[in-house]
A and B are shown apart, each in its own frame.
Chain A
Amino acid sequence: AQSVAQPEDQVNVAEGNPLTVKCTYSVSGNPYLFWYVQYPNRGLQFLLKYITGDNLVKGSYGFEAEFNKSQTSFHLKKPSALVSDSALYFCAVLNSGYALNFGKGTSLLVTP
């Protein structure tokens, strides 16, 4: 079964510092990986995806993610965090039925 794991329930970072939200995957074959962000009382917003090609994927709002096949990871990164980045972040993998299997989410708190 295709699955992802987000090992951290919460990540705290000071504004202006780099941030990393971790995700590891367990799949058979080549993974299709996604990152979504959810703000309070809102749906999920797509940030970026890895299908194939370059291991460094650039997405919306200055976010990027690095696909690492040897470590089976797909960590989300941003060079300089903003207070407005505070939200719930979900990593997801596409399963064989084209549905998304989500991680449990990581709450990001950026403090001024």
Chain B
Amino acid sequence: KAGVTQTPRYLIKTRGQQVTLSCSPISGHRSVSWYQQTPGQGLQFLFEYFSETQRNKGNFPGRFSGRQFSNSRSEMNVSTLELGDSALYLCASRLSSGGHNEQFFGPGTRLTVL
């Protein structure tokens, strides 16, 4: 099976712009989660989607949003970009929303905000 894919791999944006990142989960996986990784804050949970519904949300401002499509593919959007949004954004998928299922991560999208 193909792994989790994320596009684009790299992005450069300027402050105030918005950005959309895409994630395709492993075939058959219905749960998609997003994480932000920065040197200062480490890995932080953004949100999880399951069957097109947001199941859980981390402690991020409303500028961060996401959605999931019927084929389980997910997008996350960041509006009004700030310098502090520069990070590696990781998407992870798992078979179901059950806790015992491990999450499989994609390679990430490296976002740089200038």
Contact = CB atoms under 8 A, between A and B. Distances in A.
Interface residues of B, number: 24
A98 B90 CA distance: 16
A51 B100 contact: yes
B64 to A, nearest CB: 14
A13 interface: no
Interface in A61-106: 90, 92, 94, 97-105
Contacts of A32: 99-100
Contacts of B105: 36, 43-46
A25 interface: no
A98 B42 contact: no
B102 A98 contact: no
B58 to A, nearest CB: 7
Interface residues on A, range: 20 to 34
Contacts of A41: 107
A103 B102 CA distance: 16
Contacts of B4: 43
Contact of A99 (B56, B98, B104, B107): B56
B32 to A, nearest CB: 12
Given A51-B100, A94-B99, A99 B42 contact: no
Given A98-B56, A99-B56, A105 B42 contact: yes
A5 B21 CA distance: 30
B33 A99 contact: yes
Interface centre among A34, A43, A90 (most CB of B within 10 A): A43
Contact of A49 (B56, B98, B102): B102
A-B CB proximity, top 4 nearest: A43-B105, A97-B56, A102-B43, A99-B45
